[in-house]
Amino acid sequence: MYSLLPFTYTKISEKEVIVNELGDMMAVPIGTVKSIVSRTLDPESELYKSLVANFFISEQRIPALLDIYAERLAEKKRFMDDRTALHIFVLTLRCNQNCIYCQATSQDEKCTYKSMSFETMKNSVELMFKSPSKWITMEFQGGEPSLEPKLLKYGIELAEEINKEKQKNIRYVLCTNSINLTDEILDICKNYHVVISTSLDGPMWLHNQNRGKMDSYQKVIKGIEKARKILGKDQVSALMTTSELALDFPEEIVDEYVKIGFHSIFLRALNPYGLASHNSNWNLYTERFITFYKKAFEHILSINQNGILMIEEFAAIILRKILTPYCTGFVDLQSPAGIINSVLVYNYDGNLYASDESRMLAEEGDFTFKIGSVKDSYESLIYGKKAKEWSKVWSNEVLAGCSDCGIRAYCGADPVRNYSTQKDIYGFRPTSLLCKKNKAIIEYLISLIIERENEVMPIFRTWII
């Protein structure tokens, strides 16, 4: 008689998809789960042997390879050992665009009181180095951070100086709309190997309408070309935000990325913060986004089949969870959640937040996820009362509606989104639109693996290297 090991299951593409705690997945015939639970499996069958080999059942009460199981589980949660690795510095809310979906409550570029002081930058960098992580990403955001070149340079140079003693591995990222990539900014990027993360919403007419500027596209393309020339093509990446207007043009958006010479695209949905929170019908938007995503993804697959590498980054993150034994480090799909554990946000005003979305809520007057000030001690911030309270709801393994979900291993917990949309950090999965979106996309990817394995797996393997 065998013992059961923990697993969840769901039905996809006329199969029962079973997933264990390690993220290993098997697509088995309908009725298999009942046979497993009732212990009526044929011990001589290939199915039985596969279930034993893949840690779904054990012929011994304590599995013979329990140490391997434990090590693999630890690897999936390795980000918890690494601790907070992503540190976001909001240099300013000043911006030179007027995006119709702005989630960061940006201000006019002539604004004089929405930028970080040098003292705040100093306190923030010093606090960042309190993190025990050996791997640090220092990401500069806004508004438009390139409008503060002196502050950008000061922050990087201070980090470099402190790191002479700390000896951490630091990666710098500048999140910019590429409109203001001056020689000064690009010299900083070149000298300190700063990666450019820009944004492009699609063809010229769409991008310009989204950004509220009739020459935005032309300036963005010029900035991308300039950055590539000075820094190297592989130092510039882009992502897009799916406005309501964009929902009808999935193939055109993907084709624009191919035309510009990008080999990846992140199909990113709107988040309910800032101007985007005024969307009149989020249920309809979510439905339409899922349709948009699938149409864009099918087009991406056809592009790859024609010999052109084009990676959809959100899918690649999920596929790494499904097809590899490693954690991804993507803070939006982690359990325990990314807030505090993987990301901290140092706001321009000296306040410290649990995530980028947390500071967006604060700009609307809700400081629920404000941890404290960058002048406070690291211990009081990271191990304080708020962090302890959030820790009760930041693991999807213990949340109703998540704990028994068949694809839980590939998703994450998000107390901030739960609060912003449902006014409850615990959240209610049956009405969660984030849950609906993530579940639809994950199940779609699994269905592709089941139904079109020979077609899609060669492509997927190139994405997860």
How do residues 396-427 score in pLDDT, each as one tens digit? 999 999 999 999 999 999 999 999 999 999 99
- Residue in 365, 463, 370, 349 with CA at minimum distance from that of residue 416: 370
CA–CA separation, 115 and 189 (whole Å)? 20
User: Cis link prior to 143 (omega < 30° from 0)?
Assistant: yes
Residue 303 pLDDT > 70 = yes
Report the alpha-carbon distance of residue 98 to residue 101 in Å, rounded.
9
CA 219 remoteness from chain centre: 27
Cα gap 413→220, rounded to integer Å: 34
Q: Chain-centre distance of CA 242, in angstroms?
A: 15
| Element spanning 74, H or E | helix 66-76
356: Cβ contacts below 8 Å, ≥ 6 apart: 88, 141, 343, 345
Q: How far is CA 179 from CA 105, 183, 216, 220, 249, in A?
A: 18, 12, 7, 5, 24
pLDDT of residue 460: 97
% of the chain surpassing 70 pLDDT:
97
Tally of helices (H runs) and strands (E runs) in the chain = 18, 18
Domains of the chain and CATH, by start: 3-76 (no CATH), 84-346 (3.20.20.70)
Query: What gap in Å lies between CA 35 and CA 300, rounded to an integer?
Result: 39
Query: CA 241 → CA 90, 99, 246, 374, 409, distances in Å?
Result: 19, 10, 8, 30, 26
DSSP 278-347: G-S-HHHHHHHHHHHHHHHHHHHHHHHHTT---EEHHHHHHHHHHHSSS----GGG-SS-SBTTTEEEE-
pLDDT digits (tens, 9 = 90+) for 254-281: 999 999 999 999 999 988 765 555 666 8
- Residue 100: pLDDT band by 50, 70, 90 thresholds? confident
- 430-439 per-position pLDDT tens digit: 999 999 999 9
Per-residue pLDDT tens for 196-242? Answer: 999 999 999 999 998 888 899 999 999 999 999 999 999 999 999 99
- What are the tens digits of pLDDT across the range 67-77? 999 999 999 99
The pLDDT of residue 327: 85
Compute the CA torsion angle 179, 273, 92, 412 (nearest 10 deg): -90
